[in-house]
Chains A and B, each alone.
Chain A
């Protein structure tokens, strides 16, 4: 069975500071990994994904994530936070195929001046 753990339900950073949102997964098959962002009262938007190939993946809005198989991690980073990054972030895993997404509990990112 697959599962996702997001460490830290709330993360607060200053504008311009590094953003680090942690995600660890469990999967018995090679995983497909995703980060989605949800702004208040909106749907989910894909930030980035890892399927195969290069383990450092770049996404939209300056975010990137690195797949580390040995650590079963897929942490999301952004070098410099912007006020508009304040949102809920979800890490998810699937095994491809019919692509059932298993989500983590989410991390709320707050950015203060």
Chain B
């Protein structure tokens, strides 16, 4: 059983398109996150939700919009994709105010 899953695993698209990445966790955690890993492997947090409430919103272009329909799901929608959005996007989850974050396998986005 996969604890944190993401779909799709790979996403290749053209500039200007809109795309979504989905994340689901079956760990019963209350808190979920989106991280971006760039081509140099640098990881940076983008958003975090706790029980469907946005609690962390880093300096991210407003073309990126997270949505949490319930505490087991956190989706990321990206409008008007740009070349610089090419990266690996990781979803993670943790217990409320817990310390360990559990990461999904990542979604590799390539914008052409």
Contact = CB atoms under 8 A, between A and B. Distances in A.
Interface stretch (B11-19, B37-45, B66-74): B37-45
Given A42-B106, A44-B90, A100 B56 contact: yes
Contacts of B56: 98, 100
Contacts of B55: 98
Interface stretch (A14-22, A70-78, A89-97): A89-97
B86 interface: no
Contact of B99 (A42, A43, A51, A102): A51
Contacts of B25: none
Interface in A22-47: 32, 34, 36, 38, 41-46
Given A44-B90, A105-B41, A105-B42, A99 B99 contact: yes
A49 B100 contact: yes
**Interface of B, helix, strand, loop or mixed by DSSP:** strand
B101 interface: yes
B44 A103 contact: yes
A43 B64 CA distance: 21
B90 to A, nearest CB: 6
B42 A99 contact: no
A42 B105 contact: yes
Interface residues on A, range: 20 to 34
Question: Of residues A43, A49, A100, which shows the largest number of chain B Cβ atoms within 10 Å of its Cβ?
Answer: A43
B9 to A, nearest CB: 9
A43 B97 contact: no
A22 B44 CA distance: 20
B54 to A, nearest CB: 11
Contacts of B99: 32, 34, 49, 51, 94, 96, 99
A101 B48 CA distance: 11
Contacts of B97: 96-99
A45 B90 CA distance: 12
Interface of B: 4, 31, 33, 35, 40-45, 48, 50, 55-56, 90, 92, 94, 97-106
